Amino acid sequence: MAKVVTVGTGARETISLLAPRGRTSQRLLGRDWKIAWLFLFPLLIVLIGLVTYPFVAGIVLSLQHKVVGETATWAGLDNYRALVAGDQYASIFWHSVRVSFLYTGVAVGVKLVLGMSMALLLNEQFPGRSIMRAILFIPWAVPTIIVALTWRWILDGSLYGLINFIRVEYLGQENLIQFLANPNIALWAVVLVAIWQGTPFFTMMFLAGMQAISSEQYEAAALDGANVFRRFLDVTLPALRAPIIITALLSTIWTANSINFIFALTRGGPVNATMTFPMLAYEIGIAGARQLGLAAAVSVLFFPFFIIAIVILTRRMLSAEGRA
């Protein structure tokens, strides 16, 4: 209840020193907090059911000895010790770490450079630009599994492979190149496919950013004597700082987590040359030993790397916006 005091000499006037409970909650949570929570409730259900619960369940599973078809038993940190320093899995685990970083770093770096180059080209006025834009965006629109199977046919090591067929039938070559069976080039073949499919996404993001840059900025830079390279460095690149960071971050996460190309092209071979950590988790948890707890530990061990990447890139983006 509100506390009441009396003031004045003739008339009685009551003053509420404490607001009613309804007004207190309204002041703390906002005027429309009830309807806001009503709209947020479905989102919370989705986040808990599709994000929080699977994440927590994966961590719990990584702390158990769980084989398909058997009852799980508590293992503590045994799965992590087996991966990091165990005799059976340590070597292949650290190998998958190196392959994952190499595969992701090269693919994202090349996609960024090619995407920027294609966006600069498509931002210029020339006949047939709309048709060229549509053609260059096709790889991103095609389903990933279709892309993987098409490139598997192109890179096949027999005469049925498109490249080897052209080399033998039209170029007079006698040897067949084993793009997907040679440990020295298999990883680079998969990287090539990832670059081909992912570059249009970079192009689309960078081109959208370039469309928002005012032409007056380029005209002013040209009047100051800046050539095309200086205009790119002083006008285009600073304006695209946020799209570059966001696109690189998203592509890094997608590329590192992707299993589609490697599964369809090499299955992690030959001789584990393309064994990234998602493929290793699949081999341990499903295809091979079927140790679900150990496979979950593989994924959990790589999670901090994504957190670090997100924090670093987000801080750079915020600092860049603060300086702008």
pLDDT tens digits along 101-145: 999 999 999 999 999 999 999 988 888 888 988 888 889 889 999
Predicted local confidence at residue 34, as pLDDT: 76
**Residue 234 belongs to some domain of the structure:** yes
What confidence category does residue 4 fall into, taking pLDDT thresholds of 50, 70 and 90?
very low
- In this prediction the pTM is 0.82
The rounded distance, in Å, linking the Cα atoms of 172 and 151 is: 23
**How many domains are contained in the chain?**
1
Predicted local confidence at residue 314, as pLDDT: 72
7 backbone dihedrals φ, ψ, rounded to 5°:
-130, 160
**Residue 49 belongs to some domain of the structure:** no
Q: Where does the chain show beta strands of DSSP type E?
A: 6-7, 13-14, 64-65, 73-74
State the average pLDDT for the chain: 85
Residue whose entry in the numeric block shows the structure tokens 């069976």 = 181
Predicted local confidence at residue 11, as pLDDT: 45
What confidence category does residue 283 fall into, taking pLDDT thresholds of 50, 70 and 90?
very high
pLDDT surpasses 80 at 6 = no
**Residue 156 belongs to some domain of the structure:** yes
**Residue 182 belongs to some domain of the structure:** yes
Strand (E) or helix (H) holding 73: strand 73-74
User: Which has more pLDDT, 124 or 4?
Assistant: 124
Rg (CA), the chain: 29
Please report, for the domain that includes residue 237, its CATH number: 1.10.3720.10
What confidence category does residue 16 fall into, taking pLDDT thresholds of 50, 70 and 90?
very low
174 DSSP β-pair partners: none
**Residue 28 belongs to some domain of the structure:** no
pLDDT surpasses 80 at 324 = no
Domain holding 161, by residue range, is 89-323
**Residue 9 belongs to some domain of the structure:** no
**Residue 238 belongs to some domain of the structure:** yes
Question: How many other β-carbons are positioned within 10 Å of the β-carbon of residue 274?
Answer: 26
Q: Are strands 13-14 and 64-65 parallel, antiparallel or unpaired?
A: unpaired
Given a contact cutoff of 8 angstroms between Cβ atoms, the answer to whether 143 and 295 are in contact is: no
Express as a percent the part of the chain with pLDDT over 70: 88
What confidence category does residue 60 fall into, taking pLDDT thresholds of 50, 70 and 90?
very high
Predicted local confidence at residue 1, as pLDDT: 46
pLDDT surpasses 60 at 69 = yes
**Residue 84 belongs to some domain of the structure:** no
pLDDT surpasses 50 at 18 = no
